[in-house]
Amino acid sequence: MEANNNSDRFELIYSFFMLIFGFGIIACFLVAIGFIIYIYNFMFLIYCWPILVGIWLGIFRKSDKGYEMELKQEDAKKLNGIIEKIIKKTGQKKPYKIILSEGSGIAVSGLFRKKLIIGLATLQLLNEKDLLAIIAHEYGHFAKKDTILGYFTYRIQNFIELQKEINKQNIGVSFTIVIYLPTWLFFYLLSKYYTLISLWYSRRVEYRADRFAADLVGEKEFADALVKYCVISEIFENVIPQHIIHFLQQDKQLVKMNKM
């Protein structure tokens, strides 16, 4: 128990410095941009307006959700039954929303109001026992409040990646290359470095959720369910789309895709 407390304390300190570093770099960049605008004002706005757009989108843009539908209790009684079992065993609260999404991923999100997001393919192809094990993993994130830190980490990474992409698109414009090339290089290196320093924490978070689920449903049961989930995700996200592209390139009709 003491080892777990020490580990949790170290993770808290590590995550705190990870956020301070990320937001600190962003704050310094915003101050630098503000200083340049103050000195060069009109000329900067002419040549660097994409950077300003990128800053705005990086801070305030919401993620691209694709198809999503909120599941009511009457729409998914079996799924709600699985969640009720986990709630009784763990003492955790029910999610504010249960979202059915495209694809096969299962995830949790939410800064204050927690959401459970379930991919349509996984919901159809996993049996009740395996679905219980995988959702138990996601409840491990709820139990340790991982979605709170995850929200801020996502904002940092979204800001960095968006700046990198915007500057990359503008490098090809000859008269702005002096401005955009250094900015792109800065954010490219920052994205690699931030990914590196957050890698340990992200892996630790996933291991902790795995441990939570294994304790809840049994190690073998969780391991079997995890293998099935990974296979389904790989087939649905990578194998089937490649088949579809191949058939479309040959001008073949796609019929009864559910039998593939």
pLDDT confidence of residue 46: 64
- DSSP string computed for 109-147: E-SSS-EEEEEHHHHHHS-HHHHHHHHHHHHHHHHTTHH
pLDDT confidence of residue 210: 92
CA triplet 55, 107, 239: central angle to 5 degrees? 95
Structure tokens at 194: 């931030």
Question: Do 156 and 21 contact (CB within 8 A), yes or no?
Answer: no
| pLDDT beyond 90 at 222 | yes
18, with CB counted inside 10 A (0-12, 13-18, 19+), is: buried
Q: Which residues contact 207 (CB under 8 A, 6 or more apart)?
A: none
CB atoms near residue 132 (< 10 Å): 21
Higher pLDDT, 105 or 47: 105
pLDDT confidence of residue 260: 43
Strands of 115-119's sheet in order across: 68-70, 97-101, 115-119, 106-109
pLDDT tens digits, one per residue of 7-32 = 667 777 777 788 888 888 878 877 77
pLDDT confidence of residue 189: 82
What predicted TM-score, i.e. pTM, was given to this entire model?
0.74
pLDDT-based confidence at residue 214 (cuts at 50, 70, 90)? very high
In this prediction, residues 203-212 reach a mean pLDDT of 89
CB atoms near residue 136 (< 10 Å): 27
| pLDDT beyond 80 at 80 | yes
pLDDT-based confidence at residue 246 (cuts at 50, 70, 90)? low
In this prediction, residues 190-214 reach a mean pLDDT of 85
pLDDT confidence of residue 96: 86
Kindly state the DSSP code that residue 238 receives in the 8-state scheme: I
Mean of the per-residue pLDDT values of the chain: 78
Question: Do 163 and 183 contact (CB within 8 A), yes or no?
Answer: yes
In this prediction, residues 47-57 reach a mean pLDDT of 67
Q: Which of 131, 80, 142, 78 is nearest to 106 (CA)?
A: 131
Q: Are strands 97-101 and 106-109 parallel, antiparallel or unpaired?
A: unpaired
CA distance linking residue 39 with residue 35, whole number of Å: 6
